[in-house]
Amino acid sequence: MKFIGLLLIIFTATCLAEVIELEDADFFKGRVLDNYGNVQGKWFIKFYVPWCPHCQHLAPEWAKMAHSVDDEVNVGGVDCTKHDDLCMFYEVYAYPTIYYIDDSLGMVKYEGRRAAKDLTKYIQNQEYNNEDATNAKDIQKFKQMSDFDKLRGIFGLG
């Protein structure tokens, strides 16, 4: 019985390993954006709060999707109870909020269904390229900001 429990723990950790928990620093000179504000690869990021029932329902679906698309995109999550300034900076007012981010498109808000198969299809079929341009946020403006202005934006001082 202990062996089966250990296998279950290992299996669960393996499935969840592809979801990267992101922090403020990852968006400024870190994993998501480099020193110059360039996006480091492609990202699919959910902004969530642990107490939200919709976020809790999304969690296993998000992990399944992450396991399916790990060669195509980085999958991350931002806990808005720990990083509320970051969530405010990215205009996250409802949970969960999901963005696709890459250097050429900027940020595209995902508005589709929340099942793993739908999330996976969105990435594998590159459906973010078909999004209305009004949903894309301009990362170019962010790239041109000074580090001081970026921090002011995060902390709501600008």
Nearest CA-CA partner of 93 in 84, 102, 103: 84
For 39, the 3-state DSSP assignment is: strand
Q: Quote the CA–CA distance of 73 and 127 in Å, as a whole number.
A: 13
The residue from 15, 52, 80, 87 that is catalytic is: 52
Q: How many CB atoms lie within 10 A of CB 139?
A: 19
For 115, the 3-state DSSP assignment is: coil
Is 15 an active-site residue?
Answer: no
Is 87 an active-site residue?
Answer: no
Q: Quote the CA–CA distance of 105 and 14 in Å, as a whole number.
A: 31
Q: Which residues of 94-133 are buried (b: 16+ CB within 10 A; e: fewer)?
A: ebbbbbbbbbebbbbbbeeebebeebbbbbeeeebeebee
Catalytic residues: 52, 55
